[in-house]
Amino acid sequence: MADRQHSPSGEDSLIARYFKPLATDPGAFGLIDDAAVLKALGDDIVVTTDAIVEGVHFLSDDPPDTIARKALRVNLSDLAAKGATPAGFVLTLALRDADDSWLRPFARGLGEDASQFGCPLLGGDTVSTPGPLMISITAFGRVPEGKMVHRSGAKPGDRVVVTGTIGDAALGLDILTGGAVAAILGDDAVAREMLVGRYRVPQPRNALAEAVRDHASAAMDVSDGLAGDLAKLCAASGVSAVIDARSVPLSGAAATLLARGNVGLEALVCGGDDYEIVCAVPEDRFEAFAHAARQAGVAVACIGTVIAGLSVPRFLDNEGEEITLQRLSHSHF
């Protein structure tokens, strides 16, 4: 038909309807091109990529908007830990079908977070899959040249610092998957919802990025459990650490469950999905770091000290005895 107008394919119209409104950066070209342009503006571009898979990193019946937020926030969390300011992201979305009732809230949640964190959608790819939903995001940040904060760099004597609270997300996952925590909490809906919320929608600490960049000798985000991730940071730095288990910051709900003996410390410090920052801060920078954290409105807790050696960081109890952790962190393989 010679007079037929250009009619977009299913994928193109899906992108135009749901994702074009999120492509607010001029370098995204309204998502009508094959690629985006990212300007370094004299900085280094920090690149991180993290994917989440239905049934592995989120649950099939998680609300679509929280799935979107989690997919972006796990990447924002990496940028924060590297001291980088968000600059944008690209999205790969593998869907079984193009279901408007799922896509609408997904795109809304993604757009709200992109706006809140100043991290616009730059491009993406939407593919069909016969299998589980998968969302893969590559996020970009900027740091002044050479200033990305590494896992390596921690030195004996540095303080070990962690943001927020640890272990809530693991408890939230336990609740959602029918574990013991739901029954223990009984009708405490507030605690239940807080813990589930921590699993579904992490709170990346981007407000702390500048303080991390200015003061931390090493940093990473806590995604696979504090004990295992701290072990990775120490391994990359060629050091060890001693952690005072009492100092690990816990939410009221987690602290109560631990005090009552309903959960062990291991469930909290070896569970995943915290998306807090663990970092090493030299003693003479700690005061300035803590001040910057207060200014940023992010709670930070000093939980121990970096020491010389190559052994796995030790967690000590009230009596200074080492707490045995069977399994430092979660691995899918």
How far is the first Cα of the chain from the last one, in angstroms, to the nearest whole number?
Answer: 54
> Torsion angle of alpha carbons 276, 281, 287, 292, nearest 10°?
-40
How far is residue 255's CA from residue 259's CA, in Å, rounded to a whole number? 6
How far is residue 70's CA from residue 52's CA, in Å, rounded to a whole number? 8
What amino acid occupies position 288? Answer: A
The residue among 192 and 205 lying less far from a copy of itself, judged by its C-beta, is 205
Please report whether residue 38 would count as binding a copy of itself according to CB under 8 A. Answer: yes
**Structural contact between residues 205 and 277, judged by C-beta atoms closer than 8 angstroms:** yes
**Structural contact between residues 168 and 198, judged by C-beta atoms closer than 8 angstroms:** yes
The residue among 134 and 293 lying less far from a copy of itself, judged by its C-beta, is 134
Output Rg (C-alpha) for the chain, integer angstroms.
21
Please report whether residue 312 would count as binding a copy of itself according to CB under 8 A. Answer: yes
Please report whether residue 205 would count as binding a copy of itself according to CB under 8 A. Answer: no
Please report whether residue 138 would count as binding a copy of itself according to CB under 8 A. Answer: yes
Per-residue buried b or exposed e for 238-264, using 16+ beta carbons within 10 Å of the residue's own CB: ebbbbbbbeebbbbebbebbbeeebbe
Please report whether residue 60 would count as binding a copy of itself according to CB under 8 A. Answer: no
Element spanning 189, H or E: helix 189-200
Q: Which of 20, 104, 108, 150 binds a copy of itself (CB under 8 A)?
A: 150
Q: Which of 26, 56, 183, 188 binds a copy of itself (CB under 8 A)?
A: 56
Of 16-24, 80-88, 108-116, 292-300, the segment contacting a copy of itself by CB under 8 A is: 80-88
The residue among 82 and 159 lying less far from a copy of itself, judged by its C-beta, is 82
Please report whether residue 280 would count as binding a copy of itself according to CB under 8 A. Answer: no
CB count in 10 Å sphere of residue 326 = 6
Please report whether residue 333 would count as binding a copy of itself according to CB under 8 A. Answer: yes
**Which tokens in the block code for residue 82?**
């590297």
Residues within window 215-274 making contact with a copy of itself, judged by CB under 8 A: 220-221, 224, 228, 231-232, 234-236
CB of 132 to a copy of itself, least distance (A): 5
What amino acid occupies position 178? Answer: G
Please report whether residue 276 would count as binding a copy of itself according to CB under 8 A. Answer: no
CB of 301 to a copy of itself, least distance (A): 21
Residues within window 91-130 making contact with a copy of itself, judged by CB under 8 A: 91-92, 94-95, 97-98, 122-130
CB of 322 to a copy of itself, least distance (A): 6
Please report whether residue 48 would count as binding a copy of itself according to CB under 8 A. Answer: yes
